[in-house]
Structure 1
Amino acid sequence: MKTIAIIGGGITGVTTAYALAKRGFKVTLLERHRYAAMETSFANGGQLSASNAEVWNHSGTIVKGLKWMLKNDAPLLVNPKPSWHKLSWFAEFIAAIPHYRDNTIATAKLAVAARQHLFSWADEEGIDFDLKREGILHIYRNREGFERAAEVSKLLALGGLPRRAVTPEEMRAIEPTLAGQYYGGHYTESDSSGDIHKFTTGLAQAAQRLGVELRFGQRVTAMHADATGATVTVEQDGGDDTSRYDAVVVCAGTASRAMASMLGDHVNVYPVKGYSITVHLDDAASQAAAPNVSLLDDATKLVCSRLGEDRFRVAGTAEFNGFNRDIRADRIAPLLNWVQQCFPGVSTRNVTPWAGLRPMTPDLMPRVGRGKAPTVFYNTGHGHLGWTLSAATADIIAETVLSALGAPCSNVGQRTAQALKMA
């Protein structure tokens, strides 16, 4: 039986482990934390949002970023302190602007393809993750934002995703608890929401039942690969432990750049910090006043999702500040203010703040495919759509590994692979 090492125990690592185990591989997952899904997959916005497939490589993003640069509470914040990594990333980001249309369509196709895998896995394994299949409503306060979203909807339609415009009256019928004045909205009935941490930990347990070895507290310190396999060294109990595998798949999130460097590859993933708050709905009034439909506010770049009866998640913003994981009060404040404005009946007395680093490539397309060595593979760089895309990219990379190690691809993997250019 072929042995595969997976580096990283977040959503992409766990879905990859599961997809490979289903194909008969002997899989070992190496994660530096004590549990799965303890970094970016811990407390995101909770959306499975094909409707948010638009990539950021647009001239308007550059203009907004420059305008917001000196505002601490801006949706997009860039630390002006230069670094080679940051400068090279932004240079590639700008170079990818001509591919905005094609990449948005490709991402939408991939997100649609991911749904069938994720829902079928959850059903098959009996994973409860507070799933709500009530759609996602994008809200707009002015005509300019609403009409620009209509153009994005055309691209999403080309990717196989229907999204319809709705009036303010229709918006309130979709989500009656939403307060405020709006020009209009765009509603995607086929989108959904849930708890990424619950899903990832549940799937990790399912992968373990399939024979995946979950090794936690494993910090990878060295890797080497050649035509015959890959060697991975981890720091364990104060010493080094080295193991040999037939192949390695890097699913290490923001650490993927450093991991790829060990293997002689360049993976330009930058850590883009996002914040969230989990509002604990401790009283009946707050539970009644919180939304059931997941929302995205384009002006503030915030999303929200209802997680069961007693939790409400609000997340968003983008901060380019290296590997800084500080939870800043001035970045949490806009999330609290948004709740008070849009859902004034929800108490924010009991709130848990969080910050995580999104692994983003310059063109916002995940790196899914082979490395330079024939035994090295990557499934990383999913940015703000890690959960949304993970089931499809796991299927793609599992089929790629299967093919590389001498077995034919299945039709399912071939169909899914068409949605993404292989790196």
Structure 2
Amino acid sequence: MKTIAVIGGGITGITTAYALAKQGFNVTVIERHRYAGMETSFANGGQLSASNAEVWTHWSTLIKGMKWMLKNDAPLLINPTPTWHKLSWFGEFIASIPHYEKNTIETAKMAIAAREYLFSWAQDEGIDFDLKQKGILHIYRDKASFTHAGKVSKLLAKGGLERRAISPDEMRAIEPTLAGTYYGGYFTESDSTGDIHKFTHGLSLAIEKLGVKTLYEQSVEKITSDGKLVHITLDQAGRSHVASFDKVVICAGVASRQLADQLGDSVNIYPVKGYSITVNLIDVQSQAGAPTVSLLDDETKLVTSRLGIDRFRVAGTAEFNGFNKDIRADRIKPLIDWVERCFPNVGTRSVVPWAGLRPMMPNLMPKVGSGSKPNVFYNTGHGHLGWTLSAVTAQMVAQMMMPTEWEM
């Protein structure tokens, strides 16, 4: 039986290992942390959002980025210090703008397909991840952004997603706790939310029951492929050893670019930092005052999810600042201020801040498929939709790796 290494124990790595194991492959997961889902899959916004499938490769994104460049609390913040990596990434980003509509439609299709796999896997394995299937409400404060949302809705519809325009009164009927004045909204009833870390952890236990070998607390020092075997030099507590496999799938998030370089492939992932806060709802008033329907605020680029009875997650912003995971107070404060403004009955006495690096490709599409070597595959670069797309891209990779007739 062919041996397959999956490098990375985040949501894409664990879902990939699960899909491969269900196909009968001999799988080993390599993860540098002690547990699965400890980096970007730890505390994201929680949305399983086909309605957020619009890719960012639009001229308006660049215009906003330049406008906000010197504003520390801006939703999109770009460090103006030039690096070759950043310049090459934005060059490819601009080159992808003509494909904005096609990629948005394709992303919507993948997001819809991903739901079926993820929900069925959770049911099969008995994973409780605070799933809430109450839809996602996009909120808009002005006519221009609401009008743009209408254009996006037409693209999403081409991808098979139904979302409807609603009035401010309908918005309040859907989510009565929301305060403020709005021009209108769009509601996607089929979207949902859940705790990505709980799901990843639960699935990591499931893959072990399926026979997947897990090598935690082991870092990849070097990786090579001769087309027949993949040789991976691992560091475990300061000691190096080499493990060999027939094939490898790179699911290493922001580290994927470096591993791809060693394998002779170009995977131009940039680490785009996002922030989140988890508001602990420590009293009855806060629990009653927090929304149960997930929101996306277009103006501030913030998303929310209600995780169980006593947690409220708010996440968003995009920061182009290299491999920097510092949690900046000036980036966290706008999230807390937003909660206090939009949900005044929610207490913010107990707030846990977090930052993670989204692995983002310049065209905002995940890198899924083979590399230049026949035994090297990639499932990475999902950007802001890793949680949403993970199950379908895992299934895609598993199908790609099924042996052909001459290999059997």
Category of TM-score, reference length = shorter chain: over 0.9
**Alignment check: 8 A CA contact 1:3 1:26 kept:** yes
Structure 2 counterpart of 1:70, which letter? L
Q: What amino acid sits opposite 2:389 in the alignment?
A: L
Q: Report the equivalent of 1:83.
A: 83
Please state if 1:204 is matched with 2:211: no
1:211 alignment partner, SS class? coil
- Counterpart of 2:386, as a letter, is G
Q: Does 1:169 align with 2:169?
A: yes
Amino acid at match of 1:187: F
Name the counterpart of 1:69. Answer: 69
Q: What TM-score, normalized by structure 1, do the two folds share? A: 0.95
Corresponding residue SS for 1:18: helix
Report the equivalent of 1:366: 366
CA distance in 2, matches of 1:406, 1:64: 52
Matched residues in 2 for 1:289 and 1:403: separation? 54
Counting only pairs closer than 5 Å after superposition, residues 26-41 of structure 1 correspond to structure 2 as 26-41=26-41
1-side partners of 2:406 and 2:361: how far apart? 30
Q: Distance in 1 between matches of 2:121 and 2:174?
A: 29
Match of residue 252 from structure 1:
252
Q: Distance in 2 between matches of 1:405 and 1:124?
A: 30
Mapping of 1:377-396 within 5 angstroms? 377-396=377-396
1:315 positional shift: 0.2
Q: How far apart in 1 are the matches of 2:246 and 2:384?
A: 31
Equivalent pairs, count? 408
Give the aligned residue type for 1:109. K
CA contact 1:137–1:186 (8 Å) conserved in 2: yes
Hey, what's the Cα distance between the residues in 2 that align with 1:350 and 1:341? 17
Q: Which residue does 1:143 correspond to in 2?
A: 143
CA-CA distance at 1:58 after TM superposition:
0.4
Of stretches 232-241 and 105-114 in structure 1, the one that deviates more from structure 2 is 232-241
Aligned-residue offset at 1:405: 8.9
Q: How do 1:314-333 and structure 2 match up within 5 A?
A: 314-333=314-333
Provide closer, same or farther for how the CA distance between residues 190 and 407 of structure 1 changes in structure 2, counting only shifts above 3 A.
Answer: farther
Cα distance, 1:25 vs structure 2: 0.6
How far residue 254 of structure 1 moved from its aligned partner, in angstroms, is: 0.3
Q: After the TM superposition, which segments of 4 or more aligned residues of structure 1 sit over 4 Å from their partners?
A: 404-408
Q: Does 1:106 align with 2:106?
A: yes
| Preserved CA contact (<8 Å) 1:178 1:342 | yes
Q: Tell me the secondary structure at the aligned position of residue 305 of structure 1.
A: strand
- Give 2:96's aligned residue: 96
The aligned runs of 1:342-421 (5 Å cut-off) are 342-403=342-403
Residue 71 of structure 1 and its aligned partner are, at CA, apart by 0.1
2:99, 2:220 → 1: CA distance? 35
Q: Is the 8 A contact 1:226 1:374 kept in 2?
A: no
Following the alignment from structure 1 to structure 2, what is the Cα–Cα distance between the partners of residues 403 and 357? 34
Question: 1:227: how far off?
Answer: 2.4
Unaligned runs of 5+ in 2: none
Rounded Cα–Cα distance in structure 2 between residues aligned with 1:405 and 1:242: 31
Q: Which deviations, in whole Å up to 9, do the C-alpha atoms of 1:96-147 show, x marking residues without a partner?
A: 0000000000000000010100000000000000000000000000111111
Counterpart CA distance in 1 for 2:216 and 2:154 is: 44
1:101 maps to amino acid = E
Distance in 2, matches of 1:162 and 1:185, equals 14
Q: CA deviation at 1:256?
A: 0.3
Give the SS at the match of 1:402. coil
Deviation at 1:226, TM superposition (A): 1.9
Shift of 1:407: 6.7
Matching residue of 1:419: none
- Do 1:5 and 1:30's aligned partners in 2 also have CA atoms closer than 8 Å? yes
User: TM-score scaled by structure 2?
Assistant: 0.99
Show the counterpart of 2:189.
189
1:404 positional shift? 6.0
2:310 pairs with 1:310: yes
Identity rate, percent? 69
Measured against aligned partners, the alpha-carbon deviations of 1:288-344 in whole angstroms (never above 9, x if no partner) come to 000000000000000010000000000000000000000000000100000001000
- Describe the shift of the 1:33–1:123 C-alpha distance in structure 2 as closer, same or farther (beyond 3 A): same
Matches within 5 A, 1:220-231: 220-231=220-231
CA positional deviation for 1:406: 5.7
SS at match of 1:63: helix
Which sits farther off after the overlay, 43-52 or 258-267? 258-267
Distance 1:8 1:405 in 2: 30
* Distance (whole Å) between structure 1 residues aligned to residue 221 and residue 105 of structure 2: 38
Unaligned runs of 5+ in 1: 409-423
Q: Paired residue for 1:17?
A: 17
Q: Distance in 2 between matches of 1:269 and 1:332?
A: 25
State the shift of 1:68 in Å.
0.3
Once the two structures are overlaid, the 10-residue window that deviates more, 228-237 or 51-60, is 228-237
Letter in 2 for 1:336: I
- Per the TM alignment, residue 403 of structure 1 is displaced from its structure 2 partner at its CA by 3.8
Aligned pair in 2 of structure 1 residues 345, 231: CA closer, same or farther (>3 Å)? same
